[in-house]
Structure formats: structure tokens, C-alpha cells
Amino acid sequence: MTVPTLSINLATIRKQWGLREAVEACARHGIRAIDPWRDQVAAYGVQDSARVIKDHGMQVTGYCRGGMFPALDQARRDAAIEDNRRAIDEATALGADCLVLVVGGLPEGSRDIGGARQMVADGLSAILPHARACKLPLAIEPLHPMYAADRSCINTLAQALDLADAFGEGVGVAIDVYHVWWDPDLAQQIARAGAHKQILAYHICDWLVPTKDLLLDRGMMGDGVINLKQIGAMITQARYTGPHEVEIFSNDWWAKPGDEVLATCLERFRQVI
Ligand code: ZN
């Protein structure tokens, strides 16, 4: 069995460093894979980002993020589709393994979640030809149901896989433990995703009790209630062999020195995975 390696989602150290410094810091800690965010890449420039990533021999385990398809009117939905096409181009320039999609929630003032889900399917359908032409897989990331209104109306792995199945080639899922750990159907759905080679990324962190902020209080692996060993075993059994990507949005961890954060990520990764 191959031992999984670590990737750092650069949101984890976004308050400490810009893209270049973050890549250099990861390299310094012996980390060979990252997942940058669009704003970080935009601030440093796409070509310069691609160069510094290549110079350090970094695998790009994903690019965060595309999606946010639902909107009140056609003009805004079209604008979202155009923006996703640009995200595909950037991800391709960076050599990313996939574009992570947080699909979007309800348009402002809407109570029609079914309609929002249809807009997601329509948006995916509109960008998929370009993604396929770029040979860039699209990874639908189901988000915890607490984000259904404002971030993602795709809330379970089963739902994400149903959507991926409907589109076929070039669409898979990003499995983030923060969003799916509670799901009684998790083992079965991870096995299902593995059987069809649909797992494009695996994100790890922990769920703190209590959670002080629903967005910015993710825990470091080992500090919360997620059984990371158990879910990690499901992922391995599903034949996902890519790096495990640490993704922690946390006011607490953002307040610490970046080198301490990375050292802790590595140490916990060895302990709890
Ligand atoms: Zn994630």
C-alpha cells in the first residue's frame, strides 16, 4: 500500500503568506503538493504563479474554485459561466489536477432550491465542453447542509455523484471530511465513487465542538470529532491514491506563524491518518 502524501490548500495559510511565499514555505517543509485559490493566483499573476509552482516541483491537487452558478437572471448566470471558463483556463495554466466546484446556493430572495439545483446542472453543462477540451476534470464538492442557502445546494456525496454520473467523463467529486463526516451513507458513497474513479480530491481538517463560526472555525486534524483514520481507510479502499489535502479556514490558525501551522499539519497528518 502506498503511504498517502500531504497537500496544503493554500487557504490554510492565506493570512500569513501570498502565493509565492506559501509555495516556498511548503517546499521548505518538504510538502510537494498545493491547492491555490483564484484570488491568491490573481494577486501574484497566473503566469508567475505557474512558474513558481513549476520551479518548486509542486503537484497542484486542485484549483479553488469555480461554481456559484445560480443567479436571479440569465445575464448573471451567463456571467458566472464565463467566469468559470476563465477559472478553467487558469487551472489549466497551473497544471491543476481538477477545478474544485462550490456550486452555489439560492439566488437572492429565492425559495426555490429545486430551481437552484437545475441552474447548477445547466451551468455544469455549459462549461463542461471547455473543461473537456482542456482535459481538466471538474470536481463537485458537496458542502455541509448548513451552507445550502448561500454556498452550495449540493449537500451530500450521493447528490454530487448523481450529478457526476449524469455528466459522465470529466466530472467527479472532491470529498471534504468537514462537509460529509456526519453522513450515515458515507462509506457506501465513497465506495461508489471509487468504483467509478470519481474521487478527484480528498480534503481533510476536523470538526470542533463547539464550533464558534460556521465558516472560519475549522479544526486541525486530531482536535475535533471526525474519525479521520476511518474515513481515510474508506478513501484508500476506494483506490484514491492522490495526496490528502489539508484545508483549514480558521481565525485561530490564521493568527499563528505559518511555519508553525505547516509543521502542525505534518505532525497531525502522521498521527491521525
Ligand atoms: Zn474542501
State the pLDDT at residue 161: 98
> What pLDDT shows up at residue 1?
55
Using an 8 Å Cβ cutoff, are 49 and 37 in contact? Answer: no
The predicted structure's pLDDT at residue 4: 86
Q: What is the mean pLDDT of the chain?
A: 97
Q: Is 129 exposed, middle or buried (0-12, 13-18, 19+ CB in 10 A)?
A: exposed
Helix, strand, or coil (residue 207): coil
Instruction: Report the separation in Å between the CA atom of 176 and the middle of ligand 1, taken as the mean of its atom positions.
Output: 5
The set of cell numbers assigned to 182 is 456526519
Q: Is the pLDDT of residue 179 over 90?
A: yes
Pairing of strands 138-140, 99-102: parallel
> What angle, rounded to 10 degrees, do the helices at 113-133 and 74-94 form?
40
Residues 188-230 pLDDT 10s: 999 999 999 999 999 999 999 999 999 999 999 999 999 999 9
* Calpha distance 29→146 (Å, rounded): 35
Give ion ligand 1 contacts, CB < 5 A.
Answer: 176, 203, 247
The size of the chain, in residues, is 273
Q: How far is the CA of 248 from the centre of ligand 1 (A)?
A: 9
